[in-house]
Chains A and B, each alone.
Chain A
Amino acid sequence: MDHFPTNWGRPRNDAQDLYNTYPLHQRPNNTPKDVFADGVQRTQQPIVTGTSILAILYKDGIMMAADTLASYGSLSRFKTIQRLQSVGENTVIGASGDMSDFQYVQSILEELMIEEFTANDQNELGPAEIHEYLSRVYYARRSKMNPLWNSVLVGGKKDGKRFLAYVDLLGTTYSASTLATGYGAYIALPLLRSAVEGREDELTEEQAQKLLTDCMRVLFYRDARSLDKFQIAKVTDEGVVISDPIKLDTTWGFAEKIRGYGPQTQ
């Protein structure tokens, strides 16, 4: 019996899955080799992780979705974690990857927004500025070989202009009308692109919400590190609204017909 829960249900080789928990007991031995050795611990691997984030442009602004799960390896460790966060009046960010790194980023953003507020110049940072700031933070940390292990989506609407962009642990940035991180980039992004590209100014709020819900359902069916509880954030001229957790309605009737899943023995 393997007594280490981080090994349960894992493939034999986890070298490829960057955003997953690294088994704790296998972590490289970083303890100081002598009294003069550097005592600083660096994030070499994510521990408690969040999976995909999805985001799209639509007629009135931007919409973003994320489930509420924070995994510890294959263990569904925290099931009511909020991975979408508003920053000021016009911006929302969502993060996948290491949740403690994300919470650190949330704290420095809060600090930043307070500092900007105290300037009292009636000027608030918009989504473009937040994204630029985050890209500098993430790029600076990767350049110190001490990355913040996340893929982050930044979305918002300010002065009538919609904004949607990505930044990750390497400081890589890009912008598009549909974005997704993690498994979402493989599974949901093709669905999002075919529904949104070229229709950014026509898609209604209802259509956008249904599209994201459908994609979250597809992800829940296929991404083993996902949950059927998720939140949707929207940023419009009216500001940021992050929904309460929504439960996905899913169908499992087909399961009993699958050999090895239902009651059949052979």
Chain B
Amino acid sequence: MPDGSFSHPQQRSFNPYTENGGTILAIAGADFTVIAGDTRQSEGYSIQTRYAPKVFRLTDRAVLAVNGFAADGNMFVKKVKQRLEWYRHAHAKDMPLRAIARLIQTMLYAQRFFPYYVYNILGGIEEDGTGAVYSFDPVGSYEREACRAAGAAQSLVQPFLDNQIYFKNQQAAPGQSHPLHLPLSDVLSIVIDSFTSATERHIEVGDGLEMYVVLAKGRSAQGLEGGRGVQELTTRTDGDRVFVIRRELKKD
């Protein structure tokens, strides 16, 4: 109604948020953790880029995946990395995983009334050498879990993970029980299957897949070294190790 009058003052307020699509996922094993995300960044129906990482190495034992509003996500990762560097300078060691988790909750809750519109999943190796996954909501509620999916295709991936990782709705053969933790090769297969499925049925998921693998100290790399599309990101020897595996996803 552009009638030129002030009788219906048209109010348009600036929206400081947007959604940039994509999906992230993390699974903890007994002595390893896999943290993965696709690399598509989109807004509405437009693909902005086919390669925008959502998963970041924080330390040799911690990897953070961020999903939601990309500008907030990148800024949040930047600030977490900065806090971890300050910690390193003050204490001459890397911050332990559970402390990083609490730090992230504090940083998210600090923005309670103008939140980072981001879902975080933190994965890595705990001080006792076990694989761990922490998942957060945008204002900092968090929980340690064995597996979690978040983002655009969360509703597609999480039921599949419940079934394949937690063996939900499955009964073990008589006299046997379900394994508490799966071997790395099985976990990687499940992650790849999850993302190919999500790519098939969700328009905001696709292009590329980055799977970070954190291995506990002393664990054998089990054919990870020199594998197709595998790159080691570890900075120090004889500690926990970080690898990234890159795969293509469908681009349509």
B-contacting residues of A (Cβ < 8 Å)?
2-4, 7, 10, 12, 15, 22-23, 25-26, 28-29, 42, 44-45, 135, 139, 142-143, 145, 147, 166, 170-176, 185-186
Contacts and interface: CB of A to CB of B under 8 A. Distances in A.
B71 A12 contact: no
B14 A166 contact: no
Interface of B: 1-2, 4, 6, 9-14, 16-18, 20, 41, 43, 46, 48-52, 69-71, 74-75, 114
Given A29-B6, A176-B50, 7 more contacts: A3-B4, A26-B10, A28-B9, A135-B71, A171-B71, A172-B48, A174-B52
Contacts of A45: 12
A175 B46 CA distance: 14
Given A23-B2, A26-B2, A139-B71, A170 B18 contact: yes
A117 B94 CA distance: 37
Nearest to A165: B49
B67 to A, nearest CB: 14
A145 B12 CA distance: 13
Nearest to B45: A186
A28 B71 contact: no
B7 to A, nearest CB: 11
A2 B14 contact: no
Given A44-B13, A186-B46, A4 B75 contact: no
Contacts of B43: 172
Contacts of B46: 185-186
B100 to A, nearest CB: 23
A135 B74 CA distance: 11
Given A12-B2, A139-B71, A170 B16 contact: yes
Contact of B49 (A15, A42, A142, A174): A174
18 contacts: A2-B4, A7-B4, A26-B10, A29-B6, A29-B9, A44-B12, A45-B12, A139-B75, A142-B16, A147-B14, A170-B71, A171-B71, A172-B70, A173-B70, A173-B74, A175-B52, A176-B49, A176-B51
Contacts of A22: 12
Contact of A175 (B4, B9, B12, B49): B49
A173 B71 contact: yes
A166 B48 contact: yes
A199 to B, nearest CB: 15
Nearest to A189: B46
Interface centre among A2, A10, A12, A176 (most CB of B within 10 A): A176
B51 to A, nearest CB: 7
A102 to B, nearest CB: 18
B107 to A, nearest CB: 15
B48 A174 contact: yes
A26 B50 contact: no
Contacts of B50: 176
A54 to B, nearest CB: 15
Nearest to A15: B12
Contacts of A139: 71, 75
Contacts of B14: 42, 44, 142, 145, 147
Nearest to A186: B46
A171 B71 CA distance: 5
A170 B15 CA distance: 9
